[in-house]
Structure 1
Amino acid sequence: MQVLAFHLMGKMAHFRKYYSNSTALSYYLPPVVTVKGILAGLLGRERDSYYTEFSDDMCKVAVGIGAKTRKITQTMNLLKVEKPDDLNGSSRPNGKKYRDYGANHTQNDTEWVIPGNFQMGALCYPVRFWHRNSDLMDELAEKLCSCPGAYGSEGVSLALGSAQCLGWIDGAKLLETEKIESNCLKTRFAAPISAVNGLDRTVSLRDISLLKEETIVEFDANRTITEKSKQDILISDNGTSISFQLNPQVPFWRDEEDDYLFLGGPF
C-alpha cells in the first residue's frame, strides 16, 4: 500500500480547541480534520463540501511532532461579538464616536504554538496520508511531489490553523507501507490511547515529554462533531520517539522512514 508522506512546516500555529470560547486555547498537534482540510483546500474543494469524501472510512491520517515545540500566550484585542453587527465592527455602542470604537473590543488570552528555537527553527509535523480513491492520491502526489521546493494549490493557501499562520509542505513523497503485527511500537507519531497498553519501562521518563491530547478525526456532513469524531492521543512535544506497548491485535504501519498508527477508527 502506498501512502503520501510529507512534513507540515511553519513558524507559528494555532489549532483552536473546539470547546474553547472565553480563551483561545490551542492543541499542540494539528487535528486530523485540519490536515484533511489543508489537503482538500490544495485540491480546490469548496468549504464544507468535502467531509464525506474525507471521512474516516475513506481516508486515514497519521501525524506526529518532528521537532521541539512550545506554547506562548498573548493577550489579543479582539472584537466583542454580542450581535451580528459586531462581526464586522460596524456597531457603535451607546452612540460613541468611531474614535471610541475600542469599547467594542475585549481582551482575550490566545495560545500560539511555536518552535523550541523560534529564531532558527520551524514547526515540523510529519504526516502520512492514505485515501481509497487512487485518482485523488495521484492528484495530490502530482501537486506535492513533482515540484521540489514548491507545490500548486487549486484553492486556499496553506495555513497552520489560523489564516495568519502561513505554512508550507516539505519533503513530499510516495512511500510503500506495510502492516506490522507486533505489540512493540517506537514512534514520533501520535498514538491513540485506546491502542496503548503501556510504555516501555526500560526507557526513562526523563528522556521523553509525554502529553495527552485530543484530536478530531472527522466532521459529519453538517460540520458537526460526533462522539466518533473525538479521540484521545499520546504524543511527545519535543520530537523524540516514544516506545509503546500496544494492546493485542492492534497492528501498526511501517515505511522506510517511520513506524506509526493511523488515527481514527480501526484500519
Structure 2
Amino acid sequence: MDILIFDLKGKFAHFRKFYTNSSSLSYSIPTRTVIEGIIGAVLGMERDSYYEILSKNMCNIALRKLCSTYKIMQTVNYIKATSEKYLVEPKEHTQIPFEIVTSEYNLVYRIYINSHDINIIDKLQYSIENKSFEYIPYLGAAPFNCSLHFVASVQGKETDCNSWQEISSVVNSQYICREGIDIGKKNLFLIKEKMPLDFTGDRIIREVNSYIYDENGQSIKVKLNCKAVNIKYNNVDENIVFM
C-alpha cells in the first residue's frame, strides 16, 4: 500500500463544528472533509468537484495531531450583503462568537493519504515538494494560511485485528473493541468528537462518525476490530487507522 505523508503547519485554525449555529465553535483537529478541501485546493480542483474523487471509497486518509492546542473565543462582525454596494457601505451587522484554535508554537497536523488513483498521489507529492499550489491552502478559514511539508512516501503493511496496538492517528470509535482503550498512560487527555466523514456532490454530509484522539498528541493504546496500517519512515515506526 503506497502512502504519502505530509505535515500541515500554521499558527491559527478554525474547523467549524457542523452542528453549531449562532456560535462558530471549532474542532481541535481538521475533519476529513477539511483535509479533502486542502488537497483539492493544492491540486486546483474546483469547489465541490472533488467529493467523489477524494471520498472514502476512493481515497484513504489518516490524521495525527502533533501538538497540544488551546482555543480562543473572539467576536467577529458579519455584514448582510445582498449586493456589491453593501460590501462597500454595509447597513446591517451581526456579531458572532468565533472560536480559534492555536498552540504555544505552531499547529502541526500529519496527514497520511492513499488513493486508488496513483496520479493524485503523484501530483500531490510533486506540488508539496515544489511548493506549487494552484490555490492557497488554509486551516479551515480563509485568514488562516498554512504551509505543507513533505515527510515521506512509504509502503504500509496491514496489521492483525483484535490485538492491542499503539495507534498514532485519530481513531474512529466504531473500530475500537468494547473496553478496548488503555487509559493508564501518563498525561492522557482523550477527546471524543463527532465529525463529518464525507460530502455528497450537493455538499450534503453523507456520513458522520465519532473519533477519539489524545489532545496532547500522544498515541493511544487500543484494541481494534479492524486492521491498522504499520508504516516505517525517518526512524519512525507507527501504526495508523484511516478515517
In the alignment, what sits opposite 1:252? 228
Query: One-letter code of the match for 1:113?
Result: V
Secondary structure, aligned partner of 1:64: strand
Q: Distance in 1 between matches of 2:137 and 2:155?
A: 26
1:177-221 superposed Cα distances (whole Å, 9 cap, x missing partner): 1100042121231100001122125x24x5211001122221111
In the alignment, what sits opposite 2:106? 122
C-alpha displacement of 1:173: 2.1
Long gaps (5+) in structure 2: none
C-alpha displacement of 1:37: 1.1
Q: Which runs of 4+ in 1 moved over 6 A?
A: none
- Superposition map of 1:151-230 within 5 A: 151-154=131-134, 156-182=135-161, 183-197=163-177, 198-201=180-183, 203-204=184-185, 207-226=187-206, 229-230=207-208
In the alignment, what sits opposite 1:11? 11
Q: Distance in 2 between matches of 1:41 and 1:224?
A: 19
Q: Does 1:238 align with 2:222?
A: no
Q: Distance in 2 between matches of 1:153 and 1:190?
A: 26
> How well do the aligned residues superpose, as a CA RMSD in angstroms?
1.9
Q: Distance in 1 between matches of 2:43 and 2:20?
A: 29
Contact 1:188–1:236, Cα closer than 8 Å, also in 2? no
- Superposition map of 1:27-106 within 5 A: 27-79=27-79, 81=80, 85=82, 90=86, 104-106=92-94
Contact 2:125–2:150, Cα closer than 8 Å, also in 1? no
Secondary structure, aligned partner of 1:12: strand
1:233-266 superposed Cα distances (whole Å, 9 cap, x missing partner): 001111111111223xx11001013211001xxx
Report sequence identity in percent. Answer: 28
Count of residues in Structure 1 that have an aligned counterpart in Structure 2: 236
TM-score, normalized by length of structure 2? 0.90
Bigger share in helix: 1
C-alpha displacement of 1:89: 6.7
Q: Distance in 2 between matches of 1:20 and 1:199?
A: 29
Query: One-letter code of the match for 2:228?
Result: F
Tell me which structure has the larger Cα radius of gyration: 1
Q: Does 1:143 align with 2:127?
A: yes
Bigger share in strand: 2
In the alignment, what sits opposite 1:22? 22
TM-score, normalized by length of structure 1? 0.83
Which of 126-135 and 169-178 deviates more?
169-178
Contact 1:63–1:127, Cα closer than 8 Å, also in 2? yes
